[in-house]
């Protein structure tokens, strides 16, 4: 529009005033995230000898199933440290016990100099901001591009031979899946989730970003991801784990992309661990950010740089099957997998088409330290999902290949647990990887290829024959005939400060006593038949083992 000089001068004055007001508004409404790394967990009120104080019965049971040793990472962040930070007028937004850190949110970033001066603070890192004065259109960091029993989901089930497990009756019952995502629009009313709600398998929600939000109105992405696993529309659609139970966890903030979201992710998976999930699906990935100084490089994709990747690996060590989408950067400048899909010990999933060829957008591996990534793949081009309005749709993205696989991993885990034979988590994963069609010749985009879950079951049987539980310092002998439990140590030196606790499957502490002899005999005749966790604690570690009393 053409302007006169008079109007131009008036307009210039107006612009100056508006800029002044805008700057004042921004300073008042912009909040900043910082990550605080604590130096230690000294003088913590929590103890590994009382796991039920900070872990659920299911979390303890999972550690028991896989003979997981509890250590200091399981201890919550020292609450005294949190209180001292908050005493400075700094709001602690979320915490990470595995990383031994906390994320804070504040409008006056100068207060962080006071935090840095605290004696137990190792370092402080700026991780992002929220500008409430300037709403931004949602940015899709999620890994998404835009009539039989299974209905439209038939192809994605058949590609993995998932019907084999379903036909045996393994559809995820009693397996708990945590879904880490951006929001779950209409899951509380969508008819595709009627059975999930009516059967009480929707166990709860957790919003790491905003505890006061309505997680069912935050974002559509997580709802579509969830549908690939447990969506159920008679004759039209059935997910890969239709009988599993679910926790819905929000860690992704759509409008912006900052490093802080990797810390939200850590808090999310730690919450999932604490409530006892067995499987986690994460269709999120992080590589570049709104602030380019935060960007990762491909060299960082070694599983040891991003805190989210470190947390994913720790989750696997605690007995959780972590399934992550590889990313949709295969035909973009980034090209490679992102965090946390670069983590070791997890299942990273690439995308394929209905003809089993790679989807062009599916991100490439390997990890920067040359591990096979992705490990496996599933349908990601025109995947069948249920939209938030209950209508079928066919979007593209490793966002959907990942949960399709996660659902099948839940069914496979149910089968393995039903066999009641010894195995560790890596045995489970290797049996799936070995079933894939490219296992002997993995590629950068498809990894080991497409699994066949019938072959995976056969592989698990073979691998189990080679596995024996090994306990270096002691043995546990469950004498069912004489109703006693013998704990034998090899060396008296290993007994210093060692205790034994026995927990019921519901997390009740039944036995707690010191071990002072090379052999300790515990009588079990008063224990009701069932599964118990025997925890041996010493040298700042707790080793947890499953014992069945008949």
Q: Tell me, what CATH number does 289's domain have?
A: 3.40.50.200
Cα gap 248→177, rounded to integer Å: 9
Average pLDDT, the chain: 88
Which is higher by pLDDT, 249 or 139?
Answer: 249
- 227-260: pLDDT as tens digits: 999 999 999 999 999 999 999 999 999 899 999 9
What range does the domain containing 492 cover? 474-549
Lowest mean pLDDT among 169-173, 298-302, 310-314, 413-417: 413-417
Pick from 54-58, 61-65, 322-326 the range whose average pLDDT is largest.
Answer: 322-326
Residue 484 falls within a domain, yes or no? Answer: yes
Residue 132 confidence (pLDDT): 53
Cα gap 547→501, rounded to integer Å: 12
Cα gap 46→16, rounded to integer Å: 56
- 376-395: pLDDT as tens digits: 999 999 999 999 999 999 99
Residue 471, helix vs strand vs coil: coil
Specify whether 273 is located in the same domain as 383: yes
Specify whether 507 is located in the same domain as 370: no
Residue 440 falls within a domain, yes or no? Answer: yes
Specify whether 396 is located in the same domain as 451: yes
Residue 142, helix vs strand vs coil: strand
Lowest mean pLDDT among 73-77, 133-137, 157-161: 133-137
pLDDT at 25 over 60: no
Cα gap 390→263, rounded to integer Å: 33
Q: What is the CATH number of the domain that holds 540?
A: 2.60.40.3080
Residue 195 confidence (pLDDT): 96
Residue 284 falls within a domain, yes or no? Answer: yes
Residue 303 confidence (pLDDT): 97
Residue 421 confidence (pLDDT): 55
Q: Which residues contact 210 (CB under 8 A, 6 or more apart)?
A: none
Q: Distances from the Cα of 493 to the Cαs of 322, 408, 473, in angstroms? A: 37, 46, 10
Cα gap 137→172, rounded to integer Å: 37
pLDDT at 451 over 50: yes
Q: Are 545 and 477 in contact (CB under 8 A)?
A: no
Specify whether 321 is located in the same domain as 178: yes
pLDDT at 432 over 50: yes
Q: Are 335 and 363 in contact (CB under 8 A)?
A: yes
Specify whether 536 is located in the same domain as 443: no
pLDDT at 312 over 90: yes
Residue 422 confidence (pLDDT): 52
Query: HSE on the CB side for 1, CA within 13 Å?
Result: 6
Residue 142 confidence (pLDDT): 58
Cis amide leading into 515 (omega within 30): no
The Cα angle at residue 249 between residues 373 and 450, in degrees rounded to 5: 30
- 185-220: pLDDT as tens digits: 999 999 999 999 999 999 999 999 999 999 999 999
pLDDT at 314 over 90: yes
Q: How many CB atoms are closer than 10 A to CB 124?
A: 17
Residue 351 falls within a domain, yes or no? Answer: yes
SS (HEC) of 283-310: CECECCCCCHHHCCCHHHCCCCCCHHHH
Q: Are 537 and 499 in contact (CB under 8 A)?
A: yes
Residue 509, helix vs strand vs coil: strand
Residue 96 falls within a domain, yes or no? Answer: no
| pLDDT band per the 50, 70, 90 thresholds, residue 144 | low
Specify whether 447 is located in the same domain as 495: no
Specify whether 506 is located in the same domain as 413: no
pLDDT at 148 over 70: no
Lowest mean pLDDT among 14-28, 39-53, 316-330, 346-360: 14-28
Q: Are 332 and 140 in contact (CB under 8 A)?
A: no
Specify whether 531 is located in the same domain as 382: no
Count of the separate structural domains present in the chain = 2
Residue 50 falls within a domain, yes or no? Answer: no
Q: How many CB atoms are closer than 10 A to CB 45?
A: 10
| pLDDT band per the 50, 70, 90 thresholds, residue 2 | very low
Residue 511 falls within a domain, yes or no? Answer: yes
Residue 462 confidence (pLDDT): 59
Which residue in the block uniquely carries the two structure tokens 């605080």? Answer: 36
The residue-averaged pLDDT of 356-363 equals 97
What single DSSP character describes residue 339? B
| pLDDT band per the 50, 70, 90 thresholds, residue 108 | very high
Specify whether 419 is located in the same domain as 537: no
Cα gap 457→468, rounded to integer Å: 19
Specify whether 374 is located in the same domain as 434: yes
Cα gap 165→234, rounded to integer Å: 20
Q: Are 542 and 536 in contact (CB under 8 A)?
A: yes
The residue-averaged pLDDT of 84-88 equals 98
Q: Distances from the Cα of 356 to the Cαs of 2, 164, 194, 415, in angstroms? A: 59, 19, 32, 26
| pLDDT band per the 50, 70, 90 thresholds, residue 138 | very low
- 157-192: pLDDT as tens digits: 999 999 999 999 999 999 999 999 999 999 999 999
Closest-CA residue to 178 (of 211, 208, 143): 208
Domain stops at, among 440, 465, 490: 465
Cα gap 285→339, rounded to integer Å: 5
Share of the chain above pLDDT 90, in %: 68
Residue 134 confidence (pLDDT): 45
Phi, psi of 182 (to 5 degrees): -105, -15
Q: Read off the pTM.
A: 0.82
Specify whether 259 is located in the same domain as 336: yes
Which residue in the block uniquely carries the two structure tokens 């707690």? Answer: 512
pLDDT at 492 over 80: no
Specify whether 499 is located in the same domain as 543: yes
Cα gap 13→5, rounded to integer Å: 13
Cα gap 115→473, rounded to integer Å: 42
- 320-347: pLDDT as tens digits: 999 999 999 999 999 999 999 999 999 9
Domain stops at, among 417, 432, 465: 465
Residue 326 falls within a domain, yes or no? Answer: yes
Q: Element (H or E) spanning 196, and its range?
A: helix 194-198
Cα gap 166→157, rounded to integer Å: 10
Domain stops at, among 419, 441, 465: 465
- 455-487: pLDDT as tens digits: 999 988 755 544 434 345 778 888 777 788 888
The residue-averaged pLDDT of 421-448 equals 90
């Amino acid at each position: 529009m053409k302007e006169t000089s008079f109007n131009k001068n008036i307009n210039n004055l107006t612009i100056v005033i508006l800029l002044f007001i805008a700057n004042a508004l921004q300073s008042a409404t912009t909040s900043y995230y910082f990550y605080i790394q604590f130096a230690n967990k000294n003088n913590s009120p929590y103890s590994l000898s009382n796991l039920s104080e900070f872990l659920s019965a299911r979390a303890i049971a999972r550690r028991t199933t896989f003979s997981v040793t509890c250590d200091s990472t399981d201890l919550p962040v020292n609450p005294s440290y949190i209180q001292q930070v908050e005493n400075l007028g700094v709001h602690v937004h979320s915490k990470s016990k595995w990383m031994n850190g906390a994320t804070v949110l504040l409008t006056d970033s100068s207060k962080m100099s006071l935090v840095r001066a605290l004696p137990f603070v190792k370092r402080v890192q700026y991780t992002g901001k929220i500008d409430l004065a300037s709403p931004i259109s949602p940015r899709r960091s999620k890994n998404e591009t835009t009539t039989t029993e299974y209905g439209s989901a038939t192809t994605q089930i058949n590609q993995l031979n998932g019907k084999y497990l379903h036909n045996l009756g393994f559809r995820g019952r009693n397996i708990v899946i945590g879904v880490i995502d951006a929001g779950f629009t209409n899951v509380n009313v969508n008819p595709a989730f009627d059975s999930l709600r009516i059967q009480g398998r929707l166990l709860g929600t957790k919003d790491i970003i905003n505890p006061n939000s309505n997680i069912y109105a935050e974002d559509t992405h997580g709802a579509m991801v969830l549908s690939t696993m447990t969506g159920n529309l008679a004759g039209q659609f059935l997910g890969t784990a239709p009988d599993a139970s679910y926790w819905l966890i929000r860690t992704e903030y759509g409008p912006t992309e900052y490093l802080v979201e990797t810390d939200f992710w850590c808090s999310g998976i730690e919450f999932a661990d604490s409530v006892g999930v067995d499987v986690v699906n994460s269709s999120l990935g992080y590589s570049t950010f709104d602030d380019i100084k935060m960007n990762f490089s491909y060299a960082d994709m070694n599983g040891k740089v991003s805190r989210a990747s470190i947390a994913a690996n720790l989750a696997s060590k605690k007995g959780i099957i972590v399934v992550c989408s590889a990313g949709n950067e295969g035909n973009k400048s980034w090209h490679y997998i992102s965090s946390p899909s670069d983590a070791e010990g997890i299942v990273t999933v690439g995308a394929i088409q209905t003809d089993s060829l790679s989807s062009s957008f599916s991100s490439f591996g390997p990890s920067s330290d040359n591990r096979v990534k992705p490990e496996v793949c599933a349908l990601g081009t025109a995947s069948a999902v249920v939209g938030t309005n209950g209508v079928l749709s066919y979007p593209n993205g490793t966002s959907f290949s990942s949960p399709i696989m996660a659902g099948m991993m839940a069914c496979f885990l149910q089968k393995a647990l039903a066999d009641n034979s010894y195995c560790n988590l890596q045995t489970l994963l290797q049996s799936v990887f070995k079933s894939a069609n490219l296992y002997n010749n993995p590629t950068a985009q498809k990894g080991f290829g497409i699994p066949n879950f019938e072959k995976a079951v056969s592989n698990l049987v073979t691998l189990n024959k080679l596995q024996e539980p090994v306990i270096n310092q002691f043995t546990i002998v469950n004498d069912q005939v004489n109703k006693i439990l013998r704990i034998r140590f090899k060396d008296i030196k290993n007994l210093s400060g060692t205790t034994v606790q026995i927990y019921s499957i519901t997390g009740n502490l039944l036995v707690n006593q010191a071990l002072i002899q090379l052999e300790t005999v515990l009588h079990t005749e008063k224990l009701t038949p069932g599964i118990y966790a025997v925890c041996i604690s010493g040298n700042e570690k707790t080793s947890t083992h499953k014992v069945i009393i008949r």
